[in-house]
Amino acid sequence: MAWKSRTRSLQVFDTELSADTIEWCPVASSHDILACGTYQLQKGGGEEDATPSRTGRLYLFEFRQEASMGPPLTELQHMDTAAILDMKWCHVPVSEKPVLGMAAATGELQLYTLSEGQQEGGRSLQTLCSSEVGAERLALSLDWSSGRMDSDLRVVCSDSAGCVSVLSLAEGALMALSHWKAHDFEAWIAAFSYWDTQLIYSGGDDCKLKGWDLRVGPSSPAFTSKRHSMGVCSIHSNPHREHILATGSYDEQVLLWDGRNMRQPLSESPLGGGVWRLKWHPAHQHLLLAACMHNDFHVLHCQQALEGGGGACPVVASYILHNSLAYGADWSRLPLEGPAPGSPPTTTEPKESLAESRGHLRIQYESPTASFDTSLEDDAGRYIPEGCAASSAPPAAVPALRPDEDAPSLSCLLASCSFYDHMLHVWRWDWTPDETLKESDQC
């Protein structure tokens, strides 16, 4: 069956500082909450040998689908922090509240709770606790053990000294459980196996992917793979398929693995640009989102590879409207209904600069693609109807979906952020059997 894939920008937000991590809240009561973290290197003033400082800002947003007369994303809060390298929400509430973990340039793992404010809808982040994972180092990544709603809450954190730390969360406090030297250089990423949380994976700038079994201790890895040819910077355990692992690297490859045999990957997909982050879809086991640094954001369809078919995973969607390093990306769990909302009508060209306007920005650039349709806005700030897009690309060639395993069509809400242009984008992806669009593709 031929499928039609379309991506459409809903809103663009200027984060002012370089944006590198973005996360939708996975807790059911707060699926409309989005957090974004930034990282800014401030060079020391005056003296050449002055130590640079790293500053950041943490943003909290609410997404409102019914906001037809205005931008759907509303800023609830921002706070200045140390530079933020990574963020992850705990998949389950802690003391009935969502908890956000943050890896900071101070070498700390910081936790925040999402609390209801005094006013209606006034949700905000409040400091819960923090723990230093090491002096004179940057905390680079974190992951929660709760990917399959496990109640034994632990956090794994990697750092710039090549170390990995495991901490537990109980009674509102973090307690260090283990800490070890895992890689020769920066340990860019560490992640749990969501199916067996005694297993931890790590990747480093030494080009090695390693596995660790906490039951036997971290004195030596359970395995070491040198299959990636450059630094390993992304790892994500599939929450729907046991043993399945996705890894990404500066070598521009996405590898899929069966954890029972780490000698050879199930598949290798060249994406171009270093693969900084990978995220499995929260509901559909075959869809994998990739943030590819120098080559935008892409959705891979991994069904054939996971069923033993081998070969590269086809790209079924691309979002190409960022103008800088593609670092942060995440799927929302909010269901989308109906067509994408348009921008509020405008009668005059906005006069404020990009940095001054804050909030919703009209997209003023276009990036043509040979594989997918990307809907843009016209000069008045109104979204171009889907059927009137400047070009209509042929549907992507992808393996046929099995109706008993995947929905007959998909509409997904996503967010992404890019570094030097300090931009956050909220966008949707619609993937539909091509014949259902024939009648609607009329201007």
Q: What is the pLDDT of residues 51-71, one digit of tens each?
A: 778 999 999 999 998 766 778
> 343 near 350, Cβ under 8 Å?
no
248 Cβ contact partners less than 8 Å away, ≥ 6 residues apart: 232, 233, 234, 235, 254, 255, 274, 275, 276, 277, 278, 290
Domain carrying residue 112: 3-40+55-337+357-437
Domain count, the chain: 1
Of residues 371 and 13, more confidently modeled: 13
Of the two residues 16 and 378, the one the predictor is more confident about is 16
Q: What backbone torsions phi and psi does residue 165 show, to the nearest 5 degrees?
A: -125, 145
349 assigned to some structural domain:
no
Spatial neighbors of 309 by CB under 8 A, at least 6 apart, are 399
CATH number assigned to the domain comprising residue 421: 2.130.10.10
Model pLDDT, residue 65 = 84
Q: Which residues contact 128 (CB under 8 A, 6 or more apart)?
A: 99, 111, 112, 113, 172
Q: Which helix (H) or strand (E) holds 317?
A: strand 315-319
CA 22/CA 37 separation, integer angstroms: 6
Poorest-confidence range of 43-47, 98-102, 282-286?
A: 43-47
Sign (positive or negative) of CA dihedral 57, 36, 65, 296: positive
Residue 323 has pLDDT above 90, yes or no: yes
Would you say residue 192 lies in a domain? Answer: yes
Domain membership flag for residue 152: yes
pLDDT of residue 312: 96
Q: Is residue 49 one of the residues assigned to a domain?
A: no
165 domain-assigned = yes
443 lies in a domain?
no
User: pLDDT, tens digit, for every residue of 333-384?
Assistant: 999 876 544 433 322 233 233 233 344 333 333 232 223 334 444 433 433 4
- The listed range with the strongest mean pLDDT (147-151, 286-290, 434-438) is 286-290
* Nearest-angstrom CA–CA distance, 123 and 80: 17
Question: Which pLDDT value is given to residue 149?
Answer: 84
pTM comes to 0.85
Residue 267 forms part of a structural domain? yes
For residue 331, tell me if it sits in a domain: yes
pLDDT at residue 356, rounded to an integer: 34
